[in-house]
Structure 1
Amino acid sequence: MILQLSEDSRKIARLLSNETSVRILKLLDRRSMSAVDIADELEMRLNTLKYNLDSLLEAGLIRVRQVKWSRKGREIKVYEAVEKIIILLPGKKIPDMSLILTMLRQLSLKSPEGSDVSGFSGIEFSGICCEPGI
């Protein structure tokens, strides 16, 4: 995900600087969970959690992996983290994707497991690069 400085990029930067959102992302990075399970694990109220889940969903940082049904017939969404690179760019021009990929290759990015990802084919990363003042 490549974002130029805008209100959308500011929302994502604020979201990723929110402690609750980061705790949710770390938890969902380990395994998929329902909102009730996340709330229990993080010891937080369900309505607070749902606000954060909605924000993370809107930003595209998590997704609904599946929908299950409880014995009482209630819908239960199971969430998972979405892995992707997030690059925030200053300026208003559309970035040259080949230049960005070349720069990433030069930096020899490694995945969290330590495997080389210089090909970038079908591989997504998570993280954020942002400048002060966002």
Structure 2
Amino acid sequence: MSGLLPTTTDATTDRSGSPALLCLEDDRTDEILDALSSDTARAIFRALNERPRSAAALADHLEMSIQRVSYHLDTLTEIGLIEVADTCYSEKGREMDVYAVAEEPLVIFLGSENDQPGLRIALKNLAVAVGPVSILIAIWETLARFVGSDGAA
């Protein structure tokens, strides 16, 4: 019967939203820095940045116990850095949450709330300036790979 239940997920990581700016004075910044002070929590966050995964898949990928991974998943979910993106089922038919990084990207900056408006404008200007350049770099890298795999130089 487990063949009828989805054992894989089609959840993706979508970080297309505008980043939230958090300063050192923000209480949420303290929570985030506390949670990410753990090597395990950072490893889990990096793995979820690659692609969404269940707790069991994370434990296998990171070669850790499911209990250790689950503890950090709870903490990261509680502070809003990751979220449940989907549900799938184990081969035994048990329901499993699939975790992904939260849609809202965060920028933590070393400044006060008074610096936020200027920083927000600077980030928008940077995005406008870097946007066309990053497209050209992507095209260049694609062409370089194509030419390199073709054997021509």
Tell me which interval the TM-score lies in, with the shorter structure as reference length. Answer: 0.5 to 0.7
- 1:100–1:6 distance in 2 versus 1, CA, 3 Å: closer
Does residue 2 of structure 1 match 2:17? no
Counterpart contact for 2:83–2:99, Cα < 8 Å: yes
In the TM superposition, residue 95 of structure 1 has moved relative to its aligned partner by 4.6
Q: How many residues align?
A: 112
Q: TM-score, normalised by structure 1?
A: 0.66
Secondary structure at the counterpart of residue 17 of structure 1: coil
Q: For residue 86 of structure 1, what is the aligned residue in structure 2?
A: 107
> Does 2:55 align with 1:35?
yes
Stretches of 4+ aligned residues off by more than 6 angstroms: none
Q: CA shift at 1:35, angstroms?
A: 0.5
Higher helix share: 2
Q: Name the counterpart of 1:105.
A: 124
Contact residue 9 and residue 88 of structure 1 kept, 8 A? no
In structure 2, the gaps of 5 or more residues are 1-19, 137-153
Question: Identity percentage over the alignment?
Answer: 32
Using CA pairs under 8 Å that are at least 6 residues apart, name the structure with larger relative contact order, 1 or 2.
2
2:38 paired residue number = 18
CA contact (8 A) 2:29 2:108 kept: no
Question: CA 1:104 to 1:42, structure 2 compared with 1: closer, same or farther past 3 Å?
Answer: same
Gap change, CA 1:28 and 1:101, over 3 Å in 2: same
Cα RMSD after superposing both structures: 2.9
| Larger radius of gyration between Structure 1 and Structure 2 | 2
Residue of structure 2 in register with 1:121 after alignment: none
8 Å Cα contact 2:22-2:106 kept in structure 1: no
